[in-house]
Homo-oligomer: A and B are copies of this chain.
Amino acid sequence: MSSIYNNIPLPTIRRMPGYLRVLQDFQKEQEEWITTTNFSSHLSLKPIQIRKDMVYTGITGTPRLGFEVDKLTQAIRKMLGWDNPSEAVLIGAGALGSALLGYKGFAAHGLKIVAPFDSNDSIVGNNIHGLVVQPMEKLEDLIVRMGISIGIITVPDDSGQSIADRLIAAGIQGIWNFSSVKLKVPSYIMVQKEDIASGLAVLSVKMKNEILP
């Protein structure tokens, strides 16, 4: 699918949720305008970086005033597809799964987790942040019936691939993978892998060298 958003660099996309958070604070304060300097003082980013990122939103700043808060918010939400919330299932209602279920920011980020699933009978039926944990045998039926597009995998590594296979067979289009396995998926399935150890590696090297940006 072609799109005007095709050429946005990944680091720019990664920074967009940060901009949105600052914009939300400005909306709460009923500010109409926001400047590059405003962004810079709330985020660890240089003004030149912010100006480059803003080009991808399609919103042009006004000299001395900056960007219109509401317009910029809408443009970024549209860029990320967060103007149309996606529904997701979450597989693996352990500690990490529960943490994600309790994360209040997802609604603002265009994601609605409609049901958690787990293979452990002692967890099934539990209420976690308002959602009841479902047994695994109901997975495919719920995905098909509700037309769910995203599957969040928070299971132990050894079952990650089999869960992914079931999600894909049921019609899921995107997978957010918190297990450390590399999933084998057809090319039309989008996968985003989260690696908790990557952040720790960066912190370790920063502390070792005390110089990295």
Contacts and interface: CB of A to CB of B under 8 A. Distances in A.
Interface of A: 1, 3, 5-6, 8, 10, 13-18, 21, 42-44, 79-82, 86, 94-96, 98-103, 105-106, 109-111, 149-150, 173-174, 176, 180, 182, 188, 190-213
B176 A207 contact: no
Nearest to A98: B95
Given A10-B212, A173-B207, A106 B202 contact: no
Nearest 8 A-B pairs (CB), nearest first?
Answer: A17-B197, A192-B203, A95-B99, A190-B206, A96-B99, A14-B198, A81-B208, A99-B99
B205 A81 contact: yes
Contacts of A106: 200
A6 B211 contact: yes
Contacts of A44: 182, 193
A6 to B, nearest CB: 6
A204 B82 contact: yes
B103 A206 contact: no
Contacts of A204: 80-82, 86, 110
A82 B208 CA distance: 10
A212 B79 CA distance: 14
Contact of A188 (B109, B173, B198, B210): B210
A75 B36 CA distance: 42
Contacts of A199: 176, 192, 194
Contacts of A188: 210
Given A96-B102, A110-B204, 6 more contacts: A10-B202, A80-B204, A95-B95, A96-B99, A98-B99, A149-B207
Contacts of A200: 17, 106, 109, 111, 176, 192
Nearest to A205: B13
A43 B182 contact: yes
Contacts of A43: 182
Contacts of A80: 201, 204-205, 208
B94 A102 contact: yes
